[in-house]
Amino acid sequence: MTNLAVIGAGVMGETLIAGLLRAGWEPGQITAADRHAQRLVEMAAKHGIHTGSTAEAAAQADTVVIVVKPQDAGEVLPVVGAAIRPGTLVVSLCAGLSTSRIEADLPEGTAVVRVMPNTPAQVDEGMAAISAGAAATEEHLEHVTALLSAVGKVVTVPEKYQDAVTAISGSGPAYLFFVVEAMIDAGVMLGLPRDISTTLVVQTMYGSAKLLADSGEHPTVLRERVTSPGGTTAAALRELEAHRVKSAFMTAMEAARDRSRALASS
């Protein structure tokens, strides 16, 4: 049986653990470690998994998933490196940390796979991009894909694209929530009760995303089907174009990419 250690039992760590359990993993296959002892008590009670220190969890695992804040990685990685057995796969969900940075604190030849997940993984609709480190093989990538498929979809990309991935899908949910917030507020401004405006906007966003995913149509085609000549949608889109909304999105994502690069080099 595969033994999995999850180092960092925060939101994303628990999201992965819960997804794996729903996908059929046994609680006994998973050990969680976290610097907060009370958090581990909660995880054991809620999910029935093993808990322990970082060193204990890493020492008995075939795969170690590190889900800590980048600023905490410098403390965690050497502990993992000193504890893991030869052949252990290390999977990093630490935003912005390159595989070479992670490998520097691990035994030479350790296989590392870098992951950029996103928060919809909490409802099994996540989007993760994975990249192989110097010693990671196709088999390692397949294993990580299987793990993360429990909470959404997975794509493999060259590591040089990870900053762009961070800007698009990593930060992407925040952009969409921002749009939803604006549309709800607009509904209230137009006279709708807030609860009704919220229901209208959330279901419209959800249904549109599902239509886009299921139809296979290009978003331009779907947009044009809603946009009658001289109609209400055309009037609204004209205002969005006048305010350069598309350009603003592109500029915003470039800023996110640049910030990701800066964090990685700091």
pLDDT per residue as tens digits for the range 10-60: 999 999 999 999 999 999 999 999 999 999 999 999 999 999 999 999 999
Residue 80: band (very low, low, confident or very high) from pLDDT cuts 50, 70, 90: very high
Q: Which of 132, 165, 198 is where one domain is finished?
A: 165
* 105 and 124 belong to one structural domain: yes
Residue 1: predicted pLDDT = 45
Q: Is the domain of 161 the same as that of 188?
A: no
Q: Which of 130, 165, 200 is the last residue of a domain?
A: 165
Residue written as tokens 């008590």? 41
- Pinpoint the alpha helices (H) of 60-171: 70-83, 99-103, 138-148, 162-165
- Determine the residue type at 41: V
What number is the average pLDDT over the span 234-262? 95
| Mean pLDDT on 130-137 | 98
Strands (E) located in the chain:
4-7, 30-33, 50-51, 63-66, 89-92, 111-116, 126-132, 152-156
Whether residues 9 and 134 fall in one domain: yes
Q: Which domain holds residue 90?
A: 4-165
CATH code where residue 236 lies? 1.10.3730.10
Q: What is the pLDDT of residue 2?
A: 64
Quote the number of domains for the chain: 2
Residue 178, burial from CB neighbour count under 10 angstroms (0-12, 13-18, 19+): exposed
- Do 137 and 236 sit in the same domain of this protein? no
Same domain flag for 46 and 116: yes
Last residue of a domain, one of 114, 148, 165: 165
